[in-house]
Structure 1
């Protein structure tokens, strides 16, 4: 049974500026290539958000929107922009949830911009569940998605952000608060060279199935003069 009421989907993204995005890839890629790659990944993530129907869509930008990258999609009316507020990721997510709930939304979902192949159906599941919380486990120990059907933002306290224990710590907080939980299938972020190699392979497989949503990203990766075997 679907969940009624106002729903919001928020994409958390870094403002794309050379040298300030995907820094863990810069040991393998030069600054300009890393920047252009991030722009492709971000475009795919935006496309996923805009494919979710019947919701209000937002992009939370960190640290500030100086690049102008999101201006076109905002002017189209597809998304609303805001700047993330808080000292760390947990605080910024908590504030984003608080703001949307204060505006009258009943279900709010935040996804990261590092999972360009994330199935839109996963976002839809998070919106339509009646559970208090939804988490999308990531292969790196974090999560690619977090959703709330009611305000339970105290789960962000006491979590070591940026570590491989983020998901485990959050699950423990959910358990302590006795919140009901939907756990989505495991997915992956693109942060390290080995993740990029996996993304390229995944996109090539998707192309064989006839899905064309990531064509530009795949073409960009295929044109890079890289030793993909070294990405381990």
Structure 2
């Protein structure tokens, strides 16, 4: 199996913009970088034929050992994801960089599954954090509306309408908003991501913002 991590270069003002202004652009980029690095470490521990970092940008000082680094295709997000399934290397599992709480066990269970035709990891925001196909086909992704509350449902329908026996993976939270960072840090206690959230005082900032919001209502 090929295991792909699709990611963006962690530059201030370019990643995790919904964490600002509560965090500075630099702090938001730092959290994104820690999330990506932790995801790569987890994937590095999974027994697969090939690991690929599908990157929008430059790896810079990122530790990419154990990965083949490839540039993302152009176009909308659905087209960039679909391109990862177009070269017919099979099976393939693609995950994002925003779920540092993912575990080796979750991913190894997919690798060891010799029954399912597809694997799908729903996200709490209505999207998805993982998509896998035993027989890679980009057309099963291309055209699915991305970054919407029904993106996950649309993608899952696409798989099922193709007659694929689809295994559902655990529901995970993407780190997009400040509350997500707090929730994911709690789920990934003892990890570098949780430590980064703690060092930035994210939980305190989140509570302060919540109290301020309540006072305004």
TM-score, normalized by length of structure 2?
A: 0.88
Cα distance in 1 for residues equivalent to 2:48 and 2:71? 23
* 2:195 is aligned with 1:228: no
Match of 1:123 among 96, 103, 107: 107
1:150 lines up with 2:135 in the alignment: yes
Root-mean-square deviation (CA, aligned residues, Å) is 1.7
3-state SS in 1 of match to 2:85: helix
Change (3 A) 1:48 1:180: same
Mapped contact 2:186–2:194 kept (Cα < 8 A): no
Contact 1:193 1:231 in 2 (8 A): no
What residue number does 1:59 align with? 53
> What number of residue pairs does the alignment pair up?
207
Deviation for aligned residue 1:201: 2.4
Q: Verify: 1:107 aligned to 2:91, yes or no.
A: yes
**Counterpart of 1:166?**
151
Deviations 1:117-163, CA, capped at 9 Å, x for gaps: 10222212222323221100111111110001012332214321111
Are residues 187 and 87 of structure 1, via their aligned partners in 2, closer, same or farther at CA, if it must alter by over 3 Å?
A: same
The list of structure 1 runs, each at least 4 consecutive aligned residues, that deviate by more than 3 angstroms after superposition, is: none
Structure 1 gap ranges (5+): 1-6, 208-213
Matches within 5 A, 1:92-103: 92-99=80-87, 101=88
Q: Which residue of 1 aligns with 2:68?
A: 80
User: Distance between the aligned counterparts of 2:209 and 2:97, measured in 1?
Assistant: 21
Deviation of 1:167 after TM superposition, in Å, equals 0.8
- Change in Cα spacing, 1:202 to 1:230, as seen in structure 2 (3 Å) is farther
| Gapped regions of structure 2 (runs ≥ 5) | 211-217
2:99 counterpart SS class: coil
Q: Is the 8 A contact 1:18 1:31 kept in 2?
A: yes
